[in-house]
Amino acid sequence: MTVAPASAPGTGASLTHKQILTILSGLMLGMFLAALDQTIVATSIRTIADDLKGLSIQAWATTAYLITATISTPLYGKLSDLYGRRQFFITAISVFVIGSVLCGFAHSMYELAAFRAVQGLGAGGLFSLALTIIGDIVPPRERAKYQGYFLAVFGTSSVLGPVIGGFLAGQSSILGITGWRWVFLVNVPVGIVALVVVARSLHLPHTRREHRIDWPGALALVVGLAPLLVVAEQGRGWGWTSARSVALILIGLVGIASFVAIERRYGDDALLPLRLFRGRTFGVGSLLNFILGMGLFGGLASLPLYLQIVKGASPTEAGLMLLPLTAGIMAGSITSGQVIARTGRYKIFPVIGSVLLVVGILMMSRIGVDTPIWVTMIMMVIFGLGLGGNLQPLVLAVQNAVPPQDMGVATSSATFFRQMGGTLGTAVFLSVLFSTVGGKIAGAFADIAPTPSFQAALSDPKVLADPTNASVVHALKSGGTLPAGALDDTSFLSHLDPRLARPFLIGFADSIDLVFLCAAGVLLLGLIVVLFLPEEPLRMVSGLQARQDDMDKKAADEAATASPAS
């Protein structure tokens, strides 16, 4: 099908397919920075924390990044609507690169956490602004085909991230610099290339809109979200009902209530105009993004743990084992994009995708220690196809449903709600996992203990000669209770005699199955909600052209009003 060129407003020119792809290359490089960073750091954080002697506080490096990335996302969307995309996308890349350089030279975990917060300030604009700019230059009818390229970025980063992270973290030094520091420094050349491409190719016309800046709303959002995100990340260790957790939750709720009140007062100038929620597509789409984010990312947080703990894969191997999931996402996205471009119909894909998500994760809730890895990979493909049918069509629906001047805030809102759902889901589901795994392991020990194989292991002198085996055997003979914090570091399982390790593996597999089952319940709710998603006709012009058409119409109306009556 021939791609319709996107008209450049006010110039009479148009963007050809080649020009769009040139702009797209810069956007993809920017998104690649953030997408790669998520997977490459996750693989190497253990090595980083050990070297900086801060393993007990390493979670703060993730929490700091998450807080600033989440909070800055709606800010980028609103400001770019008012003052243009280009300068804010360049700013996002620049801040991310500066944060990466700082992280590469951190000397403590506290420094690293602070510098990761700087990185997050840039990352908040990379995803949302890239999707928004595509909305500006490509009509909704054609947009899904181009957005499929973005999923190729996620697919590539999900494969390359663990491999590169594992390799760099495993090197003592590269060019005289400690290996793990290159996990962050590798962003610098990619970022510089992205800056050059974006600066040269991204020249979009924009009419500056003078409005009040909703700084009170931004401050209220920080007060509301920062404490809640901290609790979501740290609450499992602190205790959900501890005084610290409860205090932060109360502060967060007060901040959210204040944010809503401020947004109502600011009206159209609000950071997140509440009038957008009166549109059914935006309201349902925002709820869906939150629910799917919770079920998807919360549930999938356990999949790498299954591959590494239960199946014994290294982080790099686990990343490669997730390739079928990536293939499913890309296939689902490409298929949905092509069909949407031909038919103009999009609702069917979130519906079918949600069904596949529920089916796929219900299947994964049955995996165990002895499940062949190829069977798990088939389940990943099904789940990935469901993801591909949801991620881009939902963003497309929200972008298409709002006025062209709100494209940035609508796109950033979709990203914002999905990220908030993912953060909450990850916190809740990992809490379920680690609060139940001890009991599951104890139950597995009780079932396996009487077996001849296990009893032989308990009395085997070669087994007892290994300190790792001996400590587990001692704990079992002392009443079956493992030492406090024994599961904080599961690396001992790879050195444990397989007969002694099996109850641990069964316990983890059973708890992970419970997490998948809980995620299936959340995704089932998403399937119900998606049935209420309206299907509006897709606009045939780009966001830029639609804004220009609105301006021309207003100018014509004003001229007609000003002309004297004949």
Cross-strand partners of 174: 177
> Of 491, 510, 529, at which residue does a domain stop?
510
Identify whether the C-beta of residue 380 lies closer than 8 Å to the C-beta of residue 299: no
| 258 occurs within a structural domain | no
Phi and psi at residue 13, to the nearest 5°:
-90, 175
Helices (H), ranges, 170-279: 182-185, 187-201, 215-238, 243-266
Write 272-280 long-range contacts (CB < 8 A, 24+).
272/74, 272/78, 272/217, 272/409, 272/413, 273/406, 273/409, 276/402, 276/406, 276/409, 276/410, 276/413, 279/401, 279/402, 280/532, 280/534
Distance CA 546, CA 401 (A): 13
Q: In Å, what is the CA distance from 181 to each residue of 61, 109, 174, 184, 241?
A: 14, 13, 9, 6, 37
pLDDT score of 4:
44
Neighbour count for residue 471 (Cβ, 10 Å): 15
Neighbour count for residue 462 (Cβ, 10 Å): 9
| 350 occurs within a structural domain | no
Domain range enclosing 479? 439-510
Cross-strand partners of 7: 14
| 116 occurs within a structural domain | yes
| 561 occurs within a structural domain | no
Token duo for residue 87: 């300068």
User: Amino acid identity of 329?
Assistant: I
Token duo for residue 482: 């493992």
pLDDT score of 205:
66
Task: List pLDDT tens digits, range 519-563.
Answer: 999 999 999 999 999 988 877 666 666 666 666 666 666 667 766
Q: Which residue has the tokens 């040139």?
A: 22
Number of domains in the chain: 2
| 301 occurs within a structural domain | no
3-state secondary structure 454-480: HHHHHHCHHHHCCHHHHHHHHHHHCCC
Distance CA 118, CA 167 (A): 25
> Of 158, 175, 208, at which residue does a domain stop?
208
DSSP annotation of 311? S
| 50 occurs within a structural domain | yes
pLDDT score of 6:
45
Write 5-10 long-range contacts (CB < 8 A, 24+).
6/137, 6/138, 6/139, 6/541, 6/542, 6/544, 6/545, 7/541, 7/542, 7/544, 7/545, 7/548, 8/204, 8/205, 8/544, 9/205, 9/544, 9/545, 9/547, 9/548, 10/205, 10/548
Closest CA to 509 of 526, 492, 490, 528: 490
Identify whether the C-beta of residue 422 lies closer than 8 Å to the C-beta of residue 293: yes
What's the CATH code of the domain at 11? 1.20.1250.20
Contacts of 10 (CB under 8 A, 6+ apart): 205, 548
| 34 occurs within a structural domain | yes
Cross-strand partners of 14: 7
Cross-strand partners of 178: 173
Identify whether the C-beta of residue 285 lies closer than 8 Å to the C-beta of residue 344: no
3-state secondary structure 74-135: HHHHHHHHHHCCHHHHHHHHHHHHHHHHHHHCCCCHHHHHHHHHHHHHHHHHHHHHHHHHHH
Q: Which residue has the tokens 């209220």?
A: 220
- Which residues of the chain fall below pLDDT 70? 1-15, 43, 46, 54-59, 144-145, 147-148, 151-152, 155, 158-159, 205-211, 298, 315, 468, 474-492, 540-559, 562-566
Identify whether the C-beta of residue 61 lies closer than 8 Å to the C-beta of residue 38: no
Identify whether the C-beta of residue 402 lies closer than 8 Å to the C-beta of residue 211: no
Distance CA 471, CA 473 (A): 6
User: Amino acid identity of 537?
Assistant: P
| 486 occurs within a structural domain | yes
Token duo for residue 398: 């929200």
Question: pTM for this structure?
Answer: 0.80
Cross-strand partners of 15: 6
Identify whether the C-beta of residue 513 lies closer than 8 Å to the C-beta of residue 361: no
Please work out, in degrees rounded to the nearest 5, the angle formed at the alpha carbon of residue 383 by the alpha carbons of 67 and 64: 10
Distance CA 379, CA 362 (A): 9
> Of 474, 489, 510, at which residue does a domain stop?
510
